[in-house]
Structure 1
Amino acid sequence: MKASLAIVFCVVAGLAAAAPDNKYTSKFDNVNVDEVLGNDRVLNNYLKCLMEKGPCTPEGRELKRLLPDALQSDCSKCTDVQRRNSEKVINFLRAHRAGEWNLLLKKYDPNGVYRAKHAH
């Protein structure tokens, strides 16, 4: 399955708000995704935020707000960096945190519409 919820992890890639050119802002695109993935505490905090089981940072709140739009638009407003980083995060979660990945899919893609779009 290809990354159906790439936007879920754009916060890790630095996604915040929509920029005037109809793309999500790139101001956080320099976030080191590998450091986030290597830090269980930080990664767990983002996952808890997305699942509404813990507090959110401002970026986490913005992510939850933008997630439905990003899913509907197939991440059309994501920058190239956000797309690459999102795929890296999704691949990591699928390989190392499958339980959390499946919970995110259930929450943010309950009907499997976007998963089906990216299955291969």
Structure 2
Amino acid sequence: MKLLTVTLLLCIILYVRAQNKYTNKYDNVNVDQILTNNRVLSNYIKCLMEEGPCTPDGRELKKTLPDALSSECLKCNEKQKETAEKVIRHLMKNRPNDWERLSKKYDPNMEYKKKFDKKL
């Protein structure tokens, strides 16, 4: 009986921890391929800006982005943090107009941008 109770408690703890993380379903998406393909990257940006349709992973990103920004990616796994930083750096360097538009939409008070700039 004790073993069953401990096992059940462990399952509950693991379930709660899993709920506090973002899905890793899209962790294997080739982000470099997206960043080097202007058409695909533009489609993602249009999705985030609500100017065009979204793919399933675009919808997930759009849903997750506000919470990830406000929590400093607390629910992100290490791969997601690395990918987010790569995308941000790419947009800042190669697509500054799109970076500015996205920043205005998702960070109008620039509070998250300031935190990110300190990290850099």
Report the TM-score range of the alignment, normalised by the length of the smaller protein.
Answer: 0.7 to 0.9
Q: Give the AA of the match of 1:41.
A: R
Q: Which has the larger radius of gyration?
A: 2
Q: CA deviation at 1:84?
A: 0.7
Which segment drifts farther, 60-69 or 86-95?
Answer: 60-69
Q: Which has the higher contact order (CA 8 A, sep 6+)?
A: 1
TM-score (norm 2): 0.78
- Offset from partner CA, 1:40-75 (integer Å, 9 cap, x none): 111110000001111111222222222221122111
Which of 13, 27, 45 aligns to 1:29? It is 27
In structure 2, what is the equivalent of residue 79 of structure 1? 77
Query: Stretches of 4+ moved more than 3 A in 1?
Result: none
In structure 2, what is the equivalent of residue 116 of structure 1? 114
Q: CA deviation at 1:21?
A: 4.5
Q: CA deviation at 1:76?
A: 0.4
Note closer, same or farther for the CA distance 1:65–1:21 as it changes in structure 2 (3 Å cut).
Answer: closer
**Structure 1: 5+ residue runs without aligned partners?**
1-18
**Cα distance in 2 for residues equivalent to 1:74 and 1:29:** 18
TM-score (norm 1): 0.78
What fraction of aligned residue pairs are identical, expressed as a percent? 58
**Structure 2: 5+ residue runs without aligned partners?**
1-16
